[in-house]
Amino acid sequence: MCAVGTGPDDIAAEIRFPTADPESTIGRAVEFFAAEGPLAAVGIASFGPVELRRTSPAYGFITTTPKPGWSEVDVVGPVAAQLGIPVGFDTDVNGAALGEGRWGAAAGLETFVYVTIGTGIGGGAVMGGRIAHGLVHAEMGHVAVARRPGDDFAGACPFHGDCFEGMAAGPAIAARWGRPGSDLAGVQLAEAVAIEAFYVAQGLRNVVYTIAPERIIVGGGVAKMPGLLDGVRNELTAALAGYPGLAEHHRPEFVVSPGLGDRAGIAGGFVLAEAALAGS
């Protein structure tokens, strides 16, 4: 998805097209921006993993992604070279976190986490008003989770099997039931939501204890399963087991849907572009 503007409520032009091979996909994005210019800067919020260290010769690359054909692909280089303007770059989930912090469900908060659950699971942590970066961006989708009693599903993560992503992402649901979660109904849907709520709560328990966020925003296609967030809130209360005993962890506003809906990512792109223009 590409858009031109200054924020989610000020979009002058936008386009959405399928992600194909790197050359044609990046080329089509550049063509769109060139036609809609002149622009001040571009922000790219990309699926990952990505290299964010500016001291690395691979800065701006998508690295060891399972998406076919996209490993070790330079994304920032071609865009900067062809458009000749500053380019901001981060993960898609970090971008969504920035967008939600500026205009959405985390506006006014200093420390919060955005978790997306779709074809994979990713998390972006904003701490003290800034995205947390280190050797690499956070990979919250690959934390270990406790197993639901009686569950013998092997997990669907190609790297770790039964990590958070392997037990709760869209492909895990499809592998369990033989079809996507969006195609489930009745008793199967209710059971799928119960299983999903358990594993999402296990993943969020890690987030609560390691980052101490003021709020957790849960987005992505899987998060739209009916009744899921209510189930996650209940399961998270059970998983925390009274520790550390904060009332905030059990309030409905602690785990919420994105305030910007499906526009959180593109809003993050505007924030990244603004930062690139400012040189930060």
Bridge-based pairing of strands 112-117 and 121-127 is antiparallel
* Mean pLDDT score, 115-138: 88
Which of 64-68, 92-96, 172-176 shows the lowest mean pLDDT across its residues? 64-68
Reduced DSSP (H G I as helix, E B as strand, rest coil) percent helix, strand, coil of the chain, to 5: 40, 20, 40
* Mean pLDDT score, 248-267: 95
To the nearest whole percent, how much of the chain has pLDDT over 90?
Answer: 90
The DSSP bridge partners found for residue 139 are: none
User: What Å distances lie between residue 13 and 30, 79, 175, 272, CA to CA?
Assistant: 14, 18, 38, 18
Amino acid letter, residue 127: M
Residues 76/52, Cβ–Cβ less than 8 Å: no
Which of 76-90, 102-116, 119-133 shows the lowest mean pLDDT across its residues? 119-133
What confidence tens digit (pLDDT) does each residue in 189-248 have?
999 999 999 999 999 999 999 999 999 999 999 999 999 999 999 999 999 999 999 999
Amino acid letter, residue 25: T
* Mean pLDDT score, 129-140: 83
* Mean pLDDT score, 139-149: 94
Which ranges of 6-151 would DSSP assign to H, the alpha helix?
22-36, 76-83, 92-103
pLDDT (0 to 100) of residue 12: 96
- pLDDT band at residue 264 under the 50/70/90 scheme: very high
* Mean pLDDT score, 248-266: 95
Cα angle vertex 181, ends 179, 182, to 5°?
A: 100
Within 13 Å, how many C-alpha atoms sit on residue 151's CB side?
20
First to last CA, the chain: 24
Q: Evaluate if residue 280 carries a pLDDT over 70.
A: no
Bridge-based pairing of strands 73-74 and 61-62 is antiparallel
Cα angle vertex 5, ends 275, 114, to 5°?
A: 55
DSSP calls for 200-263: HHHHHHHHHHHH--SEEEEESSGGGSTTHHHHHHHHHHHHHTTSS--GGGGSTTTEE--TTGGG
Q: Evaluate if residue 188 carries a pLDDT over 70.
A: yes
Mean pLDDT for the chain overall: 94
Token code pair at residue 186 = 């009745």
Number of Cβ within 10 Å of residue 120's Cβ equals 22
- The DSSP symbol for 72 reads T
- pLDDT band at residue 136 under the 50/70/90 scheme: confident
- pLDDT band at residue 275 under the 50/70/90 scheme: very high
